[in-house]
A and B are shown apart, each in its own frame.
Chain A
Amino acid sequence: MRTNLTTLLGGAVSALALSGAALAQEDVTITVWSIDGANQVGPSDTFSADFNELDNGITIDYRVLQFDEIVNETLRAYATGNAPDIVSLDNPDFALFSSRGAFLDITDMVAESDVINPDVYFEGPLNSVMWDGRLYGVGKYTDTIGVFYNADMLEEAGLEPPQTWAEFEAAARAMADPENGVYGATLSARGNEEGTFQFLPVIQMSGGSYENVNTEGAREWLTMVKGMIDDGVMSQDVLTLGQWDSTGTFNSGDAAMAISGPWEIDRMVEDADFDWGVTLLPTFEEGDERSSALGGFNLGILSTTEHPEEAFQVLEYFVSQDHRLFPEFGYLPTRGDIELPESGIPEKDAALAVFQEQLQYAQPRGPHPDWQQISKAIYDAEQAALTGQMTPDEALSQAQATIDGILN
């Protein structure tokens, strides 16, 4: 019995020693934070699991965060020295970190990489990961906005899909049917990032930018939308509805057009019992410069990482899986060199072709480290003008003054 115990103990000790030795050459752990997997399966969680199966000496420790928390949580983790190695952020939040050197400058690593080639990326997503001419990350997936239209109603009114804002208004007014609770159009002018997301393209296509918001076109557009709300062509609820809920009214046939993005397509295929289509975001005059919003997430390596080489390998792996983004998750890649396979649903394929064209005109919000403050000035102005608290000129002048204070 006694010998037995000694042997057992000896065995246990040597086992411990062995596992100690194994620990010494154990995998490098790379922590990845993203919102993928919070509501539905997404690329980052799937690719992390696949990467771990490769068993190549690097293990990904993946953590899911909620959309509302990821910036706060990363800020706090960075400030207290517990930051992850890789984090995935919404593109306008990216500059908050890259501008302060919180993201690792990967320009030189990318130059030597066989997997990541900056030249194939769309200009908008690429700009959102650049700061001061240096590269701080890669785009994960992207989206943009266009105009969904109810083809049945449009045909009934004898109209073509609108190409200018004037046509957009005319079509909305023609199709609105207040008696039956049908609005002519819907969009999101909500008092948060979604409002800026949809309003900034209007500023940009009329010659402005986030640095210069008080353009004639922006004033005209606000007057037009205010008029439509006042006349009941558009619901006053566009001021509080997010894009998902706003487009929900389109799907149920209660709005003839909706401004929103490709994330709506799958639900629309299910819910909408009418023919629908997508057209590019209108311009002011035919042939004018186009613009649209740039959505989507980026991936970056935090500068505090202890394993920059391994973290970069993980990044390369994620990028090498870009061809799976669309077939598996319905996300659009941020680069132009990936063919999207046809889904076999004609409306869906037609819509995606439009959104891919629209992506060429998509411009990032910022990049600016104080983007959230700039964005608030922009959506506050939109809301002040649309509620009639201020004239479009007063609202945009006030936003301009606030933005000037932030930029200088």
Chain B
Amino acid sequence: MRRILSSITDGKGFDLVLVGVTMIFLLALAGLPLVYNVLLSFQEVDMFNLAAFQRPWAGLENYREVISQPEFGLVMKNTGIFVFGSIAGQFVLGFALAIFFMVKFPFASTIRGVFLVSWVMPGLVVGAIWGLILAGDYGVLNAILQSLGIIDGTVFWKSDPRLSIWAVTIANIWLGLAFNMMLLSVGLAAIPRDLYEAAELDGANGLQRFATITVPMMRSTIGAVLALGLIYTLQQFDLFPAITEGGPANSSTVAQYWAWQWSFRIFDFAKGATVSVMMLIFVLVASIVYVWSTRAEVRG
């Protein structure tokens, strides 16, 4: 008895307790809902059996119906544009900013810190602000572009079906920029200076140093940033109700917003779950990339 007790306070038992608590937490709050969600997608759910566990089995019917919706293709295309547009924009601009702030100039790190403000702001607030910036008739961006003489008429960023998904993507790039920049700055700071000095002595120019030192040394950081970016982008929801509400004509509806519409606007909880399960596959791929790219970190 005493041996068990002492092992819990100090020894292997203590480790097991720590791991155990985490595991129980994960299983109860992440595992179970996940399984429940998958289960929902194979059942018929309405208000009467919402609380029941036993429901009529629907098999693949929900999947068939979701895929046969006229907007399915459009939603998938929009999700693709939003995810890849956001990640590409956040990553390229974030990397550029990270490199810029590596240059030593007065207040460099302070200014870099200020950039974090965008990451701290709630998505709904960011969405509301971008909603005002991108508004059609009285939008801030239109006013600026018009006074600079770049555009003549009014550009309806939110109401033009060709632009609406890009409007949300632009807002999301701004929102995720600081996060990308910070992670990449940390990666950059970890590269030993003498590598660059040696390369410079050997006559490598800036571009060569970037391609042969910076990028290879940053591989695991880049993998992690891209994978986390994919996850954060796929769970980005707040911007959609705040800026375009998925419109017009579903031209800015993405999978995560669609799932919410199914569940909480049309009250078809099974279809909402079905869309989420489809998204799960994407997230799974991202998670594998993330785990793979960070495998070199923290061992032992």
Contact between B47 and A78, CB atoms less than 8 A apart: yes
Q: Is the interface of B mostly helix, strand, loop or mixed?
A: loop
Question: Using an 8 Å CB-CB cutoff, how does the interface string of B169-187 with A read, 1 for contact, 0 for none?
Answer: 0000000000000000000
Q: Inside 8 A of B250's CB, which chain A residues have their CB? A: 191, 380, 383
Contact between B245 and A240, CB atoms less than 8 A apart: yes
Question: Using an 8 Å CB-CB cutoff, how does the interface string of A110-142 with B read, 1 for contact, 0 for none?
Answer: 000000000000000000000000000000000
Q: Is B251 among interface residues, defined by CB-CB distance under 8 A?
A: yes
Query: Which residues in window 297-333 of A have CB below 8 A to B?
Result: none
Q: Inside 8 A of B135's CB, which chain A residues have their CB? A: 237
Q: Is the interface of A mostly helix, strand, loop or mixed?
A: helix
Q: Inside 8 A of A240's CB, which chain B residues have their CB? A: 158-159, 244-245, 247-248
Interface residues of A (CB under 8 A from B): 71-72, 75-76, 78-81, 96, 100, 102, 181, 190-192, 232, 235-240, 249, 254, 372-373, 376, 380, 383-384, 386-389, 398, 402
With CB as the reference atom, state the residue of chain A lying closest to B47. A75
Q: Is B51 among interface residues, defined by CB-CB distance under 8 A?
A: yes
Q: How far is the CA of A324 from the CA of B246 in the complex (A)?
A: 40
Instruction: Say which residue of B51, B153, B158 sits within 8 Å of A79 (CB atoms).
Output: B51
Given A190-B245, A237-B158, A383-B249, A79 and B50 touching (CB < 8 A)?
A: yes
Contact between B47 and A96, CB atoms less than 8 A apart: yes
Contact between A239 and B159, CB atoms less than 8 A apart: yes
Q: How far is the CA of A102 from the CA of B47 in the complex (A)?
A: 10
With CB as the reference atom, state the residue of chain A lying closest to B164. A240
Of B18-26, B191-199, B223-231, B264-272, the segment with at least 4 beta carbons within 8 Å of chain A is B264-272
Contact between B50 and A76, CB atoms less than 8 A apart: yes
Distance to closest chain B CB from A74 (angstroms): 9
Question: Using an 8 Å CB-CB cutoff, how does the interface string of B37-61 with A read, 1 for contact, 0 for none?
Answer: 0000000000111110000000000
Q: Inside 8 A of B159's CB, which chain A residues have their CB? A: 235-240
Q: Inside 8 A of B264's CB, which chain A residues have their CB? A: 72
Contact between A71 and B158, CB atoms less than 8 A apart: no
The 5 closest A-B pairs by CB, nearest first: A191-B247, A383-B249, A79-B50, A239-B248, A79-B51
Q: Inside 8 A of B70's CB, which chain A residues have their CB? A: 398, 402
Contact between B245 and A236, CB atoms less than 8 A apart: no
Given A96-B267, A102-B47, A236 and B136 touching (CB < 8 A)?
A: yes
